[in-house]
A and B are shown apart, each in its own frame.
Chain A
Amino acid sequence: MALLDKFSSFLKDKEQLLSIKPAIFGTNIERIYSPTEASIAGHKVLLAGTNNYLGLTFNRECLAAAHKAIDEEGTGTTGSRMANGNYSLHRALEQELADFYHCKHGIVFSTGYQANLGTISGLTGPGDVLLIDAHCHASIYDGCKLSGAEVIRFRHNDPEDLNKRLVRLGDRAGSTLIIVEGIYSMLGDTAPLKEFVECKKQHNSYLLIDEAHSLGVLGDTGQGLVEVDGVGEDVDFITGTFSKSLGSIGGYCVSNHPQLDVIRYMSRPYIFTASPSPANIASARAALVLLREGRHLREQLWKQANRLYSHLKSLGYKLGPEPGPVIAAQLETPEEAIAIWTTLIEKGLYVNLIFPPASPENKPLLRISISAAHNDVQMDFICKLFSELAQGN
């Protein structure tokens, strides 16, 4: 097979899916008006397919911080932190993130994807073991691959299965990094973190949690699942992203292990990339302050999420195991999923459409994400549309 032949067979296999208008993959958002409103295919739509959990993308303080950073420090850094130098903004945010988690060390990466790639591949290498939850995000799988360590999956959210695999590893459990997530991005379920902490303690292993979807969403100050379960000191490494609750782009890892600072010299995704632009860092810093103080935003977010979850449940939709800002409705066939998704766009609602293997059980998902910026009228609208769908209208 010639180099480019695979693209022809891919396009042939996906011809039908890729010809659907508006595009279900990489949907073109023609204009964005606010955290919850945009135009798609000529329709003004309500956005319920973002990860804008706290609705901070248009927050005045965040916008002002970004504008000021652009004016004072320019549009980009044009180089890597290792070769071309750190800006004081990068260091300041690292310190603020470490303080936020009551940790001694923090590193900022250029994206959330790179935070996992860089942390995992920096911490582990050949001879080490990575034990990852089967539902972990692709960035975790890719970080594992880049590390060269031995990678073993355990059953999703199953501490007993994790324990069994740690027992099998014997002495090698001491050089094992376990990886879980706070909230899983597809079904919106949370990890049984306390039980995972017990496992890692029992076997003298290390534990990393990715709080990408739980930052700002869970915990009194919004740290994530570590705060809800009160296990911040027992978790070795916490990663996360600026691109969801913080409404910017970038990622981080914090830890009390001093070795975290050393991975700056070993982590290729940290070294060989341009550092985050001043505006992104400045808006993330402003958003982090709002997130810490944002109990009212979390209350609003959970009120709306609980309402929609209960409503969809009452309509008979098969949902993820627990309510949360990510609500996934499992559908039977791709045809049904596409028809519903297209109808929703026409009626003015944008949600995400997820197909296997990204969705579990070989079935498509309608993934709905809620924001603290969704008001009651908007939630009434979402509930009404799903009621109509359930009645076949």
Chain B
Amino acid sequence: MHKRQDIVTKVCEFLQQVAGSDVSITPEINIAEELSLDSVKVLDLVMELEDEFDISVPLNLMADVQTVNDLADLIEKVISEN
């Protein structure tokens, strides 16, 4: 079972790769607005995280995801339901 903090750390790690090393990724950061990632880039990032945690995240649940914390919450939820 993945701990919540492990999930947040992993999400930050993956985002760092996409956003570049000069950006500071925090759990509160808004993924689309503050990192200027378009919707397709965010969905591609989620695919990487799906592989990492061996889950499939439904697109329908992505609508409410804005911050790193939101994404970590969603991943935690999907893991717990599997």
Contacts and interface: CB of A to CB of B under 8 A. Distances in A.
Contact of B40 (A144, A152, A169, A357): A357
Contacts of B54: 168
A384 B39 CA distance: 38
Interface string B24-40: 00000000000000111
B56 interface: yes
Contacts of B38: 356-357, 362
B57 to A, nearest CB: 8
Given A357-B38, A357-B39, A357-B40, A165 B47 contact: no
A303 interface: no
Interface in B31-68: 38-41, 43-44, 47, 54-60
Contacts of B82: 168
A313 interface: no
Nearest to A150: B58
A150 B54 CA distance: 17
Contacts of A169: 56
Contacts of B56: 152, 165, 168-169
Contacts, number: 33
A203 interface: no
Contact of B47 (A134, A145, A357): A134
Interface residues of A, number: 15
Nearest to B58: A150
B60 A150 contact: yes
Most buried by A among B43, B47, B59: B59
Interface string A351-366: 0000011001010000
A145 B56 CA distance: 17
Contact of A134 (B44, B55, B57, B58): B44
A356 B43 CA distance: 14
B59 A144 contact: yes
B62 to A, nearest CB: 9
Most buried by A among B39, B57, B58: B58
Contacts of A150: 58, 60
A362 B47 contact: no
B42 to A, nearest CB: 10
B58 A151 contact: yes
Nearest to B63: A145
B47 A152 contact: no
A168 B55 contact: yes
Q: Which of A144, A150, A360 gathers the greatest number of chain B CB atoms within 10 Å?
A: A150
Nearest to B54: A168
A155 interface: yes
Contacts of B41: 357, 362
List the 10 closest A-B pairs by CB distance, nearest first.
Answer: A357-B40, A151-B59, A357-B38, A150-B58, A152-B56, A165-B56, A168-B56, A151-B60, A151-B58, A152-B58
20 contacts: A134-B43, A134-B47, A144-B59, A145-B60, A150-B58, A152-B56, A152-B57, A152-B58, A152-B59, A153-B47, A153-B59, A155-B47, A168-B54, A168-B56, A168-B82, A356-B38, A357-B38, A357-B40, A357-B41, A360-B40
Given A153-B43, A168-B55, A357-B41, 16 more contacts: A144-B59, A145-B60, A150-B60, A151-B60, A152-B57, A152-B58, A152-B59, A165-B56, A168-B54, A168-B56, A356-B40, A357-B38, A357-B39, A360-B40, A362-B38, A362-B41
